[in-house]
Amino acid sequence: MNSDLPKVLHPLAGKPLIAHVVSAARAIHAEQICIVHGHGGDRVQAALSGKDLVYALQVPQQGTGHALQQALPRLSKAPVTLVLYGDVPLVRAATLQALLKAAGTGVAILTAELDDPAGYGRILRDKAGRVTGIVEQKDATAAQRRIGEINSGIMALPTARLAKWLPQLKNKNAQKEYYLTDLIALAVKDSVPVAAIKADDAGEIQGVNSRAQLAQLERTHQWQQASQLLDAGVTLVDPLRFDLRGALHCGRDVQIDVNCVFEGRITLGDNVSIGAHCVLKDVTIGPGTRIEPFSHLDGAQIGARCRIGPYARIRPGTQLGAEVHVGNFVEIKASDIGDGSKANHLTYVGDASVGRNVNIGAGTITCNYDGATKHRTVIEDDVHIGSDVQLVAPVRVARGATVGAGATLWKDVPPGGLAINPKTQEYRAGWQRPRKPVKRTTGRN
């Protein structure tokens, strides 16, 4: 990976590769999850959490069989041990359930048919089609390399047998490593049944050994997620230009334009429309709301039938009521905006409570921070705020009041009436603007 970051911590869809694997194990109710680590183990442990996780150190690293040897003392008494890989993140819980069912009291391995099996171990079968072993690419004969069925490395093994089988592993191979795959031959020797099931999608067993492979896997995963949304009735203008880095729940007739990024937990109500190039993180959006292009929403709750953007920024702690309009280049942070209120142009609203049917003019800002403490602005129902107004918090504008353009408020405004700062305008005839001095250049004959 050419990186200081341990490979299994490189992100796929916004979370570490190994976190996807741990999620799959938890989805099938694993009794315990033992993570075998070497380089960067402290960073791996810091990135994961859970009482079901235990760790085993593998130093030196002498192959997959050697890794399981290190894990053996930490394994629970569960009858089956399932072997997964921290850099093979897309295996599905349903596939793992099928593998466990196929194993029964024996062994089961997950395989796949590949057009180009180069680099993978090949599945060996007898004339009756029974699995007899696995041969690694570097140890395979020319005939064996032509076999298209490959070993994913994912397998289910009887835990009670591991204490006997693992000490029998030898490193007499091209890589001088202890292969986990050699356990299959030991199982056959002991007359333990070996089952093989094939993954429905080869992407499930695809691993990561380079940034190029990680990028390919990202697109594979995003296509899978996009396909699920399409099947559920969501309109994606271009499924190839869509990124989900969390969980997205959509109502009926949701439309999502190109190059949108969804992070964390997002809920979109019925008939929500998301414009191009938007970023949404941990937001809930009510039905009928339209998010215009290039808008960023983070940690907010948006009501029904709102209009947001384009180029709007909604920051954490914001709650918008129904039919709120937030226009271009408007930023809202930690504020509550009541039903029917509008801030359509070039405005900043922070740490504010805004009532219903309030109009906030262009260029208005809440001055909420004094350098040490955030203060709150309160604007009650039916207030009209003119353009270019500064509200110096803490300040309250009472119901029905009007604030004239250009005003600076640092005192509370009573209900009704007009709040302004008196201004004068002068005219000076013949006044000349300052001029820049003329730069002189010199030349040579």
Which has the closest alpha carbon to 360: 368, 374, 349, 375? 349
Band (pLDDT 50/70/90 cuts) for residue 408 is very high
Which has the closest alpha carbon to 224: 211, 205, 242? 242
Band (pLDDT 50/70/90 cuts) for residue 443 is low
3-state SS string over 116-167? CCCCCCEEEECCCCCEEEEECHHHCCHHHHCCCEEEEEEEEEEHHHHHHHHH
pLDDT of 177 > 90? The answer is yes
pTM beyond 0.85 = yes
Question: Would you state the pLDDT for residue 445?
Answer: 55
Q: Cα separation of 297 and 284, whole Å?
A: 10
Q: Which of these is catalytic: 221, 277, 325, 345?
A: 345
Measured in degrees and rounded to the nearest 5, phi and psi for residue 65 equal: -65, -40
Q: Quote the mean pLDDT of the chain.
A: 94
Domain locations in the chain as residue ranges: 7-205, 211-419
Question: Would you state the pLDDT for residue 440?
Answer: 75
Q: Are 81 and 161 in contact (CB under 8 A)?
A: no
- For the stretch 26-72, pLDDT in tens is 999 999 999 999 988 999 999 999 999 999 999 999 999 999 999 99
Q: Is domain 7-205 annotated with CATH 3.40.47.10?
A: no
Angle, helix 17-27 to helix 93-103, in steps of 10 degrees: 50
In eight-state DSSP terms, residue 259 is T
137-154 b/e (C-beta count within 10 Å ≥ 16 → b): eebbeeeeeebebbbbbb
State the average pLDDT over residues 295-300: 98
- For the stretch 64-107, pLDDT in tens is 999 999 999 999 889 999 999 999 999 999 999 999 999 999 99
State the average pLDDT over residues 408-428: 89
Fold type of domain 211-419:
UDP N-Acetylglucosamine Acyltransferase; domain 1 (2.160.10)
Q: What is the CA radius of gyration of the chain?
A: 32
Residue 295 exposure: Cα atoms within 13 Å on the Cβ side:
27
- Measured in whole angstroms, the distance separating CA 326 from the mean position of its chain's CA atoms is 26
- For the stretch 227-257, pLDDT in tens is 999 999 999 999 999 999 999 999 999 999 9
Q: Cα separation of 313 and 403, whole Å?
A: 25
Asked about 345 being catalytic, the answer comes back as: yes
Band (pLDDT 50/70/90 cuts) for residue 444 is low
Percent of the chain predicted with pLDDT > 70: 99
Better-scored residue on pLDDT, 339 or 117: 339
How far from each other are the two terminal CA atoms of the chain, in whole angstroms? 61
- Other CB atoms within 10 Å distance of the CB of residue 204: 22
Band (pLDDT 50/70/90 cuts) for residue 118 is confident
State the average pLDDT over residues 9-35: 97
Q: Cα separation of 387 and 365, whole Å?
A: 10
Question: Would you state the pLDDT for residue 192?
Answer: 95
> In DSSP terms, which residues pair with 298 in a beta bridge?
281
Which has the closest alpha carbon to 134: 153, 112, 158? 153
pLDDT of 142 > 80? The answer is yes
Question: Would you state the pLDDT for residue 442?
Answer: 65
